[in-house]
Structure 1
Amino acid sequence: MKPIWLYLTQEDIATERLQCEQEGRDLSTLEEEFAYVQSLDLENLANQPAAQALLDKTLQAPIRPDFPFEEPSDLQAIRAARPKTAPSLPKLQLSDAALEDKVYGAWTGRAVGCLLGKPVEGWRRPRMWGYLKDLGRWPLSDFFRYHVPQEVQEKYQLSERAPFADLVSAMPEDDDLNYTTTALAIMKRFGPDFTSEQVAQFWMSDIPILHTCTAERVAYRNFCNLVSPPASASFRNPYREWIGAQIRADFWGYAAPGNPERAAEWAWRDACISHVKNGIYGAMWVAAMTAAAFVTEDIPTIIRAGLAQIPANCRLADAIESLFEWQEVGVDYDTAVYRVHELWDETRAHDWCHTISNALIVAVALLWGEGDFAKTICRAVQPCFDTDCNGATTGSILGILYGRKNLPTHWTEGINDTLHTGVAGYHTVKLADMAHETMRLIETLR
């Protein structure tokens, strides 16, 4: 038995090289060792020690002197590297009823956005865009459906096992909502002073290891081998800047409405068990944006409130800042998406699942979504990349802005307010109940 992500493959070795290059590491002294490991059959577990030894050495490779970014992973250094100024946000002045409606909108919007992207997760542009255009549904404006003409089903290899909107009556289990639920459960169990070690402890006691993916599964393996946070994030982990921590972040913003700094700190405590550098920053950015959405409806301000919590001179901030420049010179949505694809190759797993590529898609959808719920989640999913994650993140933020009462019924009715998760104690729950539990936590944290 060899479950994926619990041993190193040749694709992992290629990913590690690319990750190191993007981190600015000088690999010149490791070229021969890379070549040797790449010549091995890593499906033969007897060759795993050589691959593991290589990854131990890559983490010790020095950063090139000409690397232009400053990218710490510890909280104190991250805070010291933040921008000198941050957006001025109004204080939270919502009634309890209005606040709970926004929290309910966040949970529902996240589920709806996730469901929009879930059946096409992993589809690249030719497949998704071909499906939409063959059905006369371009650009995307509604859920993907299984019941379409047979020739379309066959051409695009639709499966009845996939969670198309016309095949489900609730939000199916998905890692995006599993982690939102996990964060709620962690806060309930350990309180606002929870530690990274307690997050790891919760995973091991309440989440089956095979319900995790990529960086999370590697971190889980590390916990089981007594590698504690934060070392668990980097030890033999080629996925340490992938999207996993970013998709775990929304709840920390729900629990800190109007307080981006607090949300970002909670996100850091969670993210640092499995991710480093931009993998952490993506989580902090999303958590801070989500918190800010409770007190401002201005999308650029929300995005900048997120950027205010991460290093000013990091690759993620640099990428997001470029989008503001594109808007200033009149770049349209389709061109913005094209430019993201020019920067990141969706056919390569590392690019498809990286924090920065998907953060760019989230920000494009927010900036070009015109504050419209449907347009924003559709513009987060249509570019491909990690469709369910990006639909969920944008749905979460727009769900807060709208509030549950104002979310379009067309988008919400199909899931019947019901969520399935893989988290112990929350296998089938009502979104209204999740919002109410969140609200009770907010009241205790004030």
Structure 2
Amino acid sequence: MTTTAFLEKVYAGFLGMNIGIRLGAPVEPTLWTSERIERFYGDIHSYVKDFKNFAADDDVNGPVYFLRALNDGALGRSLTPSDVAQAWLNYSREEVGMFWWGGYGVSTEHTAFLNLLHGMEAPASGSIQTNGKTLSEQIGAQIFIDTWGFIFPGDPKRASEYARIAASVSHDGEGLQGAAFIAGCIAQAFICDDIQDIVGVGLSLLDGDSTYAKVVRSVRDFYAQNPDDWRTCLCYLQQEWGYDRYPGVCHIIPNAGVCIMALLYGKSFARGVEIATMAGWDTDCNAGNVGSILGVAGGLPMLPDHYRNPIGDVIVLSGISGYLNILDVPTYVKQLCKLSFQVRNLEIPQDLDIQEGVIDFDFSLPGSTHGFRLSETHGFVLRNEGDALALLYDRKVRPQLTRLFYKPFYRRFDFDDERYMPVFSPTIYAGQTVSMSLRFEKFSGESITLSPYVRNTSTQEVIMFDSFVVWDEEHRDVTFTIDKGHPKLSGAMIDEVGLLFEANSPSKNRDFGVVFLERFAVSGKPDYTIDLAQQQKEFASITPFSHNHGSWDLVKNENGTTQMEVMALDHGEACTGNYFAKDVRVEGSATVHRGSSALISVRVQGARRGYYAGFHKGQLGIFKHENGLFFPLVSKSFACELELTYSLTFEAKGTKLHVSVGGGQTLSVEDSSFTHGMVGYAVYEGGRVGFGSLSVKEMEEQT
């Protein structure tokens, strides 16, 4: 298989998974029986609900975030359950987002997380001995597993082995059978598009006497005798393999039956995810797994536009990093393919050797848009034309316009609901330089005006940079730097970056043509301030922060200055910024009202790793959090006065860490554990602290 073919199949599989999730999610609750779905939606052939943007879902959170165990140290050696367990603990905000926090002993994932948090090792954390058979055999084992199949193309045995290891953090028994089956089917789909063969290979990976193997064989046998009507098969499943026979909130076995039924009767991608949705039970999980398998098997041509286009090449997540929560699909699938080459000890092709945290879009994948969209679509069309994103403007006159833009930041008003409580930190900041390569084709008209711009998310004001008129030229490279000191931008976040298109011609000679965006890239180091007076509380967090523990709110102090206040019993954290920021200086302030912990942070990689500086338990110090242990790297006695505002500056440069308080007290130390991460504030004991606006300047790395 060529690199291009592999990349496009991963792209199709990942899109297919998310199409299935989006299709099934509106009818996921158990109150939506198959009878009710048929009554109100009939024979489904399209999405049953429109979304401004589809909010986060656990069925994509898990596959993306838990695979990061590989990024975090599991490459170059055998994967262990402990590796994946650390990803669970590190990327989840406790009881917010990621997966269903239904309670200990009720939600399998919540139970496993708390087991891990209280010191239990994986796989004991998910074992039948620990949690009982019912809890350990719920559906989560197979819904978080798709990406393990994507990285082992044509190697179902190894895909199933890794899937079992990953799933063992939270599941056991039939759950592990399901993980092996789904991942193995996905891996086999890279080299075979025959559904019977794919299911057969998946079955060969199972323990022969397992209930999962029995339901696979049972549905396959029923299909052989009744190949024409999937609803007859559904009745059979409901009678012989239904929820009444398998206890718990969402058992894996009935849903396994639905997946096999949807694969065999669906045959094509669209019909497969539609059947998985119409069947009821865990509709988004089943349609997601089926979408992965059939997406890989059929490839991009099998994904209908009416299902693919609303995805828009952007997936929203709800992990602990607001930066990672904005996922550009074409970039991510390239990263998946790179991981695949790494984990298989193969040489990485040059076009896949990309770095995380870099925005460089070339629109080379078929149909890719990298999340670009239009503010006005009447008379404007946006489509991929193979080597560029094409904006067709159809007979426009002065002053008709549209904005062509990428969204580096999302707000609550961008969504219809609050599924899984996503939070965001921008992917583009002041101080950075935006580059665009443009090409033009004119059919009629006199000229058009294009204005590079960004949008202030607080005021919704469009801020333009160096507009230019296009007459008859064919190419132009556009570059502009986002000025931190711009009076209409200072202290605010950016939620659009792109081009403002304006028609210039009169009605007798209308503008008709195409603007091609061949490349969009962002370079340079962010240099920005988060002015808390311009922020809002959304998704139970303060923009643009992600919070883990503690109660956070925006308050004004006695001087009228807006602070971000935390009240915590033992820990409260606020993270923001580029997850891959390396050398960085952050400046902020803290006013301690109660307690003795007030910290500013750099290189925070999640809930389990990072550097902190400031006050803690009578000490001024630089502290390190590593896998649940919080300890000083260097410290000295310091009596932090209550109700006094202290300025804090924390700098990380190479292995050197330096903190200063109010320009007076300073401390320095060296440590090489963490090379990158987010910035923010934290308290590591009970108390109440008001934190001030935060300035962040990333620096060129030392050589």
TM-score, with length taken from structure 1: 0.70
Aligned counterparts of 1:354 and 1:111: Cα–Cα separation in 2: 22
Residues 327 and 349 of structure 1, relative CA distance in 2, 3 Å threshold:
closer
1:133 alignment partner, one of 35, 39, 43: 39
Give the aligned partner of residue 206 of structure 1: 91
Instruction: Report if aligned partners of 1:114, 1:391 keep a CA contact under 8 Å in 2.
Output: yes
Q: Which residue identity does 1:101 align to in structure 2?
A: E
TM-superposed deviation, 1:344: 4.1
Give the aligned partner of residue 436 of structure 1: 334
1:363 alignment partner, one of 243, 260, 276: 260
Alignment partner of 1:419: what SS?
strand
Give the aligned partner of residue 243 of structure 1: 139
Alignment partner of 1:429: what SS?
strand
Alignment partner of 1:227: what SS?
coil
Residues 426 and 124 of structure 1, relative CA distance in 2, 3 Å threshold:
same
Write out aligned runs for 1:20-169 (5 A).
94-124=1-31, 126=33, 129-130=35-36, 132-134=38-40, 137-145=41-49, 166-169=50-53
1:298 alignment partner, one of 188, 194, 215: 194
Instruction: Report if aligned partners of 1:352, 1:386 keep a CA contact under 8 Å in 2.
Output: no
Alignment partner of 2:137: what SS?
coil
Question: Can you list the C-alpha shifts for 1:249-283, whole angstroms capped at 9, x where unaligned?
Answer: 11111000000010011001111121111011100
TM-superposed deviation, 1:346: 4.5
TM-superposed deviation, 1:193: 2.1
Q: Which residue identity does 2:93 align to in structure 1?
A: P
Give the aligned partner of residue 266 of structure 1: 162
Aligned counterparts of 2:171 and 2:215: Cα–Cα separation in 1: 19
1:426 alignment partner, one of 324, 328, 334: 324
1:172 alignment partner, one of 43, 55, 60: 55
Does residue 220 (structure 1) correspond to residue 113 (structure 2)? The answer is: yes
1:285 alignment partner, one of 176, 181, 187: 181
TM-superposed deviation, 1:325: 1.3
Give the aligned partner of residue 340 of structure 1: 237
Instruction: Report if aligned partners of 1:106, 1:400 keep a CA contact under 8 Å in 2.
Output: yes
TM-superposed deviation, 1:167: 2.3
TM-superposed deviation, 1:141: 1.5
Aligned counterparts of 1:217 and 1:209: Cα–Cα separation in 2: 9
1:310 alignment partner, one of 206, 229, 233: 206
Structure of higher RCO (CA pairs closer than 8 Å, 6+ residues apart): 1
Instruction: Report if aligned partners of 1:373, 1:395 keep a CA contact under 8 Å in 2.
Output: yes
TM-superposed deviation, 1:442: 1.8
TM-superposed deviation, 1:198: 1.4
Aligned counterparts of 1:99 and 1:143: Cα–Cα separation in 2: 28
Give the aligned partner of residue 82 of structure 2: 197
TM-score, with length taken from structure 2: 0.45
Question: Can you list the C-alpha shifts for 1:107-164, whole angstroms capped at 9, x where unaligned?
Answer: 10000000001111114455x6445434xx421221112xxxxxxxxxxxxxxxxxxx
Q: Which residue identity does 1:212 align to in structure 2?
A: F
Give the aligned partner of residue 24 of structure 1: none
Q: Which residue identity does 2:324 align to in structure 1?
A: Y
Larger displacement relative to structure 2 (289-298 or 404-413): 404-413
Q: Which residue identity does 1:217 align to in structure 2?
A: H
Alignment partner of 2:315: what SS?
strand
Question: Can you list the C-alpha shifts for 1:27-72, whole angstroms capped at 9, x where unaligned?
Answer: xxxxxxxxxxxxxxxxxxxxxxxxxxxxxxxxxxxxxxxxxxxxxx
Question: Can you list the C-alpha shifts for 1:382-422, whole angstroms capped at 9, x where unaligned?
Answer: 11010000010011111112223542111011121110112
Q: Report percent identity of matched pairs.
A: 29
Alignment partner of 1:296: what SS?
coil
Aligned counterparts of 1:324 and 1:131: Cα–Cα separation in 2: 25
Aligned counterparts of 2:131 and 2:117: Cα–Cα separation in 1: 14
Higher strand share: 2
Q: How many residues align?
A: 328
TM-superposed deviation, 1:287: 0.5
Instruction: Report if aligned partners of 2:262, 2:273 keep a CA contact under 8 Å in 1.
Output: yes
Aligned counterparts of 1:101 and 1:179: Cα–Cα separation in 2: 22
Alignment partner of 2:56: what SS?
coil
RMSD of aligned residue pairs (Cα, Å): 1.9
Alignment partner of 1:323: what SS?
helix
Q: Which residue identity does 2:5 align to in structure 1?
A: A
Aligned counterparts of 1:99 and 1:284: Cα–Cα separation in 2: 21
Instruction: Report if aligned partners of 1:124, 1:346 keep a CA contact under 8 Å in 2.
Output: no
Aligned counterparts of 1:401 and 1:315: Cα–Cα separation in 2: 26
Residues 352 and 339 of structure 1, relative CA distance in 2, 3 Å threshold:
farther
Structure 2: state its 5+ residue gaps.
Answer: 101-106, 347-703
Alignment partner of 2:140: what SS?
coil
Aligned counterparts of 2:137 and 2:69: Cα–Cα separation in 1: 23
TM-superposed deviation, 1:316: 0.7
Larger displacement relative to structure 2 (113-122 or 184-193): 184-193
Structure 1: state its 5+ residue gaps.
Answer: 1-93, 146-165
Where has structure 1 moved over 6 Å in runs of 4 or more?
none
